[in-house]
């Protein structure tokens, strides 16, 4: 991809979203249910879109909220529904729309009025309620498009497990919501906003989460060491949580950016010339990177705080690198975890994690892309840690019980401070130690063109379709179309050798497939692996 000339620079006025127009389209634009692009579509992180293109409008949210209410009734979920939102401009209108429908359906909706609520706090509240076993089973909704551009909106549903809903739930909700759209909303039950606000139950998400943090992070060590930590919420929902952490604990932390602006006008532009609150992008994180020498460690979060970005004097850490560092540290500093607790990773995460897990004597559980695959393991303690290459992770409390079963961007930031305090080394210095022990890697992700027919073929390949015997000059050791950790289909292909691997998956939104590759033999070898990967995929597709 060509890097935009605006990348890393503060967003110019021409890139800023017209918020009044965006919100007007949310209410006034009627999506066309016969247009596949304007129907409800749940991806790995819920339904997302923008109001100006008819992909995220009031009708979508009314229909999805009605479908969720019906799902709850059918599933016997009778407890409270915890609902949060982030700082995107469309989040509050969608929050109000969902509230009107849920309360009309008799759902007990728990919210914190006037306060943004991040994804991990919703997960934490669900688990806390269900652990207590009183007042029925709880679930939750977060109104967020995560790190997406300012004009986008999003809707995520978390069932009683606390984590992202699996496809059996999202598929049913999606189908029912689209049926409601096709039926011109006749099945939607709805109260006025005034009546709905009168029925909501106020709930403090922040205080229990903040006060229980010593159960998952050694805050005493952080405080006693005086480690200096900078925090950039990137204008998102983590801001009030970080403010509460600073108020509750005497830590040497500093919030470097208190701005909340639905245009995200303070943001540095991402590599493709768009405003995107991606805390794993050095271009989006340019503001915090300019302060890297002012702190021992600095932390960024995306708007719903389910992702983390870690900055040290060495720069912004690659998400894969920090996953390996967290795993190496946690499994040596959490004696309360079960000896058999494993390491969860997605199949496109770094193979360095494999080597670290092996070095620790821990079982590696490699699953397809999607945090939902870690939920059950985190709930039972079978997994001590679950993480994915896009800077999303969660891990257990000190005693081995679950903390959150959705991605939590706050505790990895606090963990960076803990490991610096307790070992005297920053996460990037600890990563250097890992590469010395296990080898340095080169990692890349690229897109390649593919027709819809080719994408369908790629998503349904079998290992026998791969005829190649070597990759990058080394013998192929595995050809995978199902994840080794849970035997779930990966919707693509992964090919490995002792020193490298690549994975290819079709894009769900574009006529491309994504190629991920990694090599322990350096950048030149990675380039060779990437080139051969295209040939292997092309051959497997039969040259079509």
Distance CA 81, CA 104 (A): 13
pLDDT number for residue 451:
87
CB atoms within 10 A of CB 73: 13
507 in catalytic set: no
pLDDT number for residue 543:
52
CB atoms within 10 A of CB 338: 13
Residue 202 in this model has a pLDDT that exceeds 80: yes
The gap from C-alpha 285 to its chain's centroid, in whole angstroms, comes to 17
* Contact predicate 140/130, CB 8 Å: no
Return all residues near 503 (Cβ < 8 A) that are at least 6 apart: 347, 348, 490, 492, 493, 494, 495, 515, 516, 517
In order of their start, the domains of the chain are 16-203 (3.40.120.10), 208-438 (3.40.120.10), 442-541 (3.30.310.50)
Distance CA 465, CA 458 (A): 10
Question: Locate tokens 């959490």: which residue?
Answer: 334
Share of the chain above pLDDT 90, in %: 91
> What are the tens digits of pLDDT across the range 114-150?
999 999 999 999 999 999 988 899 999 999 999 999 9
Question: Locate tokens 């690659």: which residue?
Answer: 318
Mean pLDDT of 383-410: 97
Taking the CA atoms of 232, 235, 236 and 238 in sequence, report the sign of the dihedral they define: positive
User: Which residues are 394's β-sheet partners?
Assistant: 386
Q: What are the C-alpha distances in Å from 185 to residues 58, 64, 193, 294?
A: 11, 11, 18, 54
* Contact predicate 278/284, CB 8 Å: yes
Tell me 32's DSSP state: -
Q: Name the band, by pLDDT with cuts 50, 70 and 90, for residue 540.
A: confident
Higher-confidence position of 539 and 277: 277
Taking the CA atoms of 137, 107, 240 and 316 in sequence, report the sign of the dihedral they define: positive
Higher-confidence position of 465 and 25: 25
Distance CA 389, CA 369 (A): 9
> What are the tens digits of pLDDT across the range 325-343?
999 999 999 999 999 999 9
Q: Residue 137: what are its φ and ψ, rounded to 5°? A: -85, 140
Q: Name the band, by pLDDT with cuts 50, 70 and 90, for residue 1.
A: low
Q: Name the band, by pLDDT with cuts 50, 70 and 90, for residue 160.
A: very high
Residue 45 in this model has a pLDDT that exceeds 80: no
CB atoms within 10 A of CB 414: 23
Q: What are the C-alpha distances in Å from 359 to residues 98, 120, 331, 355, 437?
A: 48, 30, 11, 6, 10
Both tokens of residue 25? 């389209």
User: Which residues are 2's β-sheet partners?
Assistant: none
pLDDT number for residue 2:
82
Give the β-pairing of 229-232 and 297-301: parallel
* Contact predicate 483/365, CB 8 Å: no
Least confident of 37-51, 59-73, 117-131, 362-376: 37-51
* Contact predicate 67/181, CB 8 Å: no
> What are the tens digits of pLDDT across the range 15-41?
999 999 999 999 999 999 999 999 999
Mean pLDDT of 416-429: 98
Question: In b/e form, how buried is each residue of 81-99, taking b as 16+ CB within 10 angstroms?
Answer: bbbbbbbbbbbbbbbbbbb
Q: What is the Rg, in whole angstroms, of the alpha carbon atoms belonging to the chain?
A: 23
User: Which residues are 311's β-sheet partners?
Assistant: 298, 316
- CA proximity to 385, closest of 337, 327, 320: 327
3-state secondary structure of 103: helix
3-state secondary structure of 203: coil
Least confident of 9-13, 42-46, 220-224: 42-46
Higher-confidence position of 538 and 55: 55
Q: Name the band, by pLDDT with cuts 50, 70 and 90, for residue 544.
A: very low
Return all residues near 300 (Cβ < 8 A) that are at least 6 apart: 231, 232, 233, 234, 279, 285, 288, 308, 309, 311
3-state secondary structure of 93: helix
Mean pLDDT of 355-382: 97
3-state secondary structure of 255: strand
> What are the tens digits of pLDDT across the range 261-320?
999 999 999 999 999 999 999 999 999 999 999 999 999 999 999 999 999 999 999 999
> What are the tens digits of pLDDT across the range 499-519?
999 999 987 767 788 999 999
pLDDT number for residue 509:
63
Q: Which of 51, 97, 123, 146 is catalytic?
A: 146
pLDDT number for residue 43:
83
Return all residues near 202 (Cβ < 8 A) that are at least 6 apart: 110, 111, 112, 113
Return all residues near 260 (Cβ < 8 A) that are at least 6 apart: 87, 116, 235, 236, 239
315: left (phi over 0), alpha (psi -120 to 50) or beta: left
pLDDT number for residue 542:
73
Return all residues near 350 (Cβ < 8 A) that are at least 6 apart: 320, 321, 323, 324, 389, 441, 443, 518
Mean pLDDT of 423-451: 95
The gap from C-alpha 424 to its chain's centroid, in whole angstroms, comes to 29
Mean pLDDT of 87-104: 98
* Contact predicate 130/404, CB 8 Å: no
Residue 64 in this model has a pLDDT that exceeds 70: yes
Q: What are the C-alpha distances in Å from 60 to residues 20, 83, 100, 215, 533?
A: 19, 17, 13, 39, 39
3-state secondary structure of 141: strand
Mean pLDDT of 433-455: 92
Distance CA 530, CA 297 (A): 33
Both tokens of residue 43? 């991806």
> What are the tens digits of pLDDT across the range 170-182?
999 999 999 999 9
Distance CA 364, CA 354 (A): 7
Residue 395 in this model has a pLDDT that exceeds 60: yes
Average pLDDT over the chain, rounded to whole?
96
Both tokens of residue 429? 């210095």
478: left (phi over 0), alpha (psi -120 to 50) or beta: beta
Question: Locate tokens 């139950």: which residue?
Answer: 201
């Amino acid at each position: 991809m060509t890097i935009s000339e605006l990348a890393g620079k503060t967003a110019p006025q021409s890139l800023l979203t017209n918020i009044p127009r965006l919100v007007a389209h949310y209410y006034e634009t009627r999506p066309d249910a016969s247009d596949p692009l304007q129907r409800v579509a749940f991806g790995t992180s819920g339904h997302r879109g923008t109001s100006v293109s008819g992909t995220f409008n009031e009708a979508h949210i009314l229909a999805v909220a009605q479908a969720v209410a019906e799902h709850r009734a059918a599933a016997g979920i009778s407890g409270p529904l915890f609902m949060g939102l982030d700082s995107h401009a469309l989040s509050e209108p969608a929050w109000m729309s969902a509230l009107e429908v849920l309360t009309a359906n008799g759902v007990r909706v728990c919210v914190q009025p006037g306060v943004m609520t991040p994804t991990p706090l919703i997960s934490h509240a669900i688990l806390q309620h269900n652990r207590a076993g009183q007042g029925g089973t709880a679930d939750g909704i977060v109104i967020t498009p995560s790190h997406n551009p300012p004009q986008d909106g999003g809707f995520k549903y978390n069932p009683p497990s606390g984590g992202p809903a699996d496809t059996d739930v999202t598929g049913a909700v999606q189908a029912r919501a689209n049926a409601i759209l096709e039926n011109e909303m006749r099945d939607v039950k709805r109260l006025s906003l005034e009546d709905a606000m009168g029925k909501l139950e106020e709930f403090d998400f922040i205080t229990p989460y903040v006060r229980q943090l010593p159960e998952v992070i050694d805050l005493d060590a952080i405080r006693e060491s005086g480690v200096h930590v900078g925090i950039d919420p990137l204008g998102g929902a983590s801001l009030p949580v970080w403010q509460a952490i600073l108020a509750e604990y005497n830590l040497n932390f500093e919030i470097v950016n208190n701005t909340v602006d639905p245009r995200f006008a303070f943001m540095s532009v991402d590599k493709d010339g768009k405003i995107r609150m991606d805390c794993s992008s050095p271009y989006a994180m340019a503001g915090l990177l300019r302060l890297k020498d002012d702190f021992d460690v600095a932390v960024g979060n995306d708007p719903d705080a389910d992702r983390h970005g870690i900055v040290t004097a060495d720069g912004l850490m690659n998400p894969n690198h920090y996953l390996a560092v967290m795993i190496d540290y946690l499994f040596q500093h959490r004696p309360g975890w079960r000896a058999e607790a494993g390491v969860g990773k997605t199949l496109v995460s770094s193979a360095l994690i494999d080597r670290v897990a092996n070095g620790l004597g821990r079982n590696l559980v490699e699953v397809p892309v999607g945090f939902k695959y870690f939920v059950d393991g985190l709930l039972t303690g079978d997994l001590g840690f679950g993480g994915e290459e896009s800077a999303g992770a969660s891990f257990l409390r000190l005693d081995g019980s679950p903390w959150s079963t959705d991605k939590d961007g706050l505790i990895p930031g606090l963990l960076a401070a803990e490991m610096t305090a307790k070992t005297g080394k920053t996460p990037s210095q600890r990563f250097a130690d890992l590469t010395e022990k296990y080898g340095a890697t080169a990692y890349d992700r690229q897109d390649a063109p593919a027709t819809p027919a080719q994408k369908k073929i790629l998503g349904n390949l079998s290992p026998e379709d791969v005829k190649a015997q070597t990759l990058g000059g080394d013998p192929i050791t595995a050809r995978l179309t199902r994840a080794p950790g849970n035997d779930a289909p990966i919707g693509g292909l992964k090919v490995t050798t002792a020193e490298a691997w690549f994975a290819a998956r079709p894009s769900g939104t574009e006529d491309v497939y994504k190629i991920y590759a990694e090599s322990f033999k350096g950048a030149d070898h990675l380039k060779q692996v990437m080139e051969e990967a295209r040939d292997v995929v092309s051959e497997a597709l039969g040259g079509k």
